[in-house]
Structure 1
Amino acid sequence: MLSKINLLWVVVAVLLVSCAQKKECHNTQRNPILASNIYSSKAYQAELYRLIKESPDVDYYYEMREEIFGQVYLVVSAYGDAFCGKLCLVISEEDASHIAIDASKGYQGAQLIGLKYKRKETAYALSSLVYDSMEYLVD
């Protein structure tokens, strides 16, 4: 009887761990634009933004902060029903020092609840996604 209870606990623990882990995006990627471009490319970001706008429910998870040519980006994994990808959000200089999430503080993989960002048109007809706010983190 005791071994059956132990086996049951092992099965429950395995199920809980597998449910708590977020999906691996690269294993399930079926979108040809996302699959054939690097995440920081204009084509990748435009396609991911289009998919997010068409999806009723998207979950966001913190990946990292990255600096490219002096601009700081918040990189988050976005998971929808039929897609997943890395979204790059520009962080303003003002927000860069105020945003509490950072990989060095152990937030990598934390879910970002209520993440808000805006599409901003820039010079030369380029557009970027700019971080606005978030409600809270689920670590």
Structure 2
Amino acid sequence: MSSRIAFVGMVVLLLLSTSCQESGCYKSQRNQILGKNEYNSKAYQEELYRLIKENPDVDYYFEFREEIFGQSYLVINAFGDAFCGKLCLMVPEEDATSITLKDSAEFQGAQLIGLRYKQHKTDYGSALVYDSVEYIVD
């Protein structure tokens, strides 16, 4: 009986420490560029993309969807080995997954497994464009 209580206590402690780690990540940001810039700035997004490309083991969690000048963006929390940040992905057209994420606030914090996006270069710079997600773990 006492071993079962100890096990449940350890699981609860692990879950609490994981959730605290997520929210505290941005407060303890060690990367100068990510720490000094707003998440939706060009410098921030370029630095975060660079870090993600260098680190193949990144976890993605849906934060929210926002519209800027009529363009839809998914804001995704990205957690790597030694960094975390808010990744802004432009949504080029409506698809089933992005509609689901838009219409349901319950997906906030859901893990996005197999998130795919690509860098699209234009005359005005580059943008990260949402491509697809294999599935959503809520």
User: Shorter-normalised TM-score: what interval?
Assistant: 0.7 to 0.9
Secondary structure of the 1:28 match is coil
* Whole-angstrom distance in 2 between the partners of 1:96 and 1:5: 46
* Whole-angstrom distance in 1 between the partners of 2:106 and 2:47: 30
Offset of residue 92 of structure 1: 1.2
- Where in structure 2 are there 5+ consecutive unaligned residues? none
1:18-52 Cα distance to aligned partner (Å, 9 max, x none): 25536222133100000000000000000000000
* Whole-angstrom distance in 2 between the partners of 1:62 and 1:95: 16
1:34-91 Cα distance to aligned partner (Å, 9 max, x none): 0000000000000000000000200000000000011000000000001000000000
* Whole-angstrom distance in 2 between the partners of 1:14 and 1:106: 22
* Contact 2:97 2:133 (C-alpha < 8 Å) held by counterparts: no
Q: Paired residue for 1:129? A: 128
Change (3 A) 1:118 1:6: closer
Comparing 4-13 and 69-78, the one that deviates more? 4-13
- Where in structure 1 are there 5+ consecutive unaligned residues? none
Change (3 A) 1:27 1:5: same
Structure 1 letter corresponding to 2:10:
V
The alignment of Structure 1 onto Structure 2 pairs a total of residues equal to 136
Offset of residue 100 of structure 1: 1.8
* Whole-angstrom distance in 1 between the partners of 2:79 and 2:86: 9
TM-score by length of 2: 0.86
TM-score by length of 1: 0.85
Offset of residue 9 of structure 1: 5.5
State which structure, 1 or 2, has the greater radius of gyration over its C-alpha atoms. 1
Correspondent of 2:12 among 11, 14, 24: 14
The root-mean-square deviation of aligned C-alpha atoms, in Å, is: 2.3
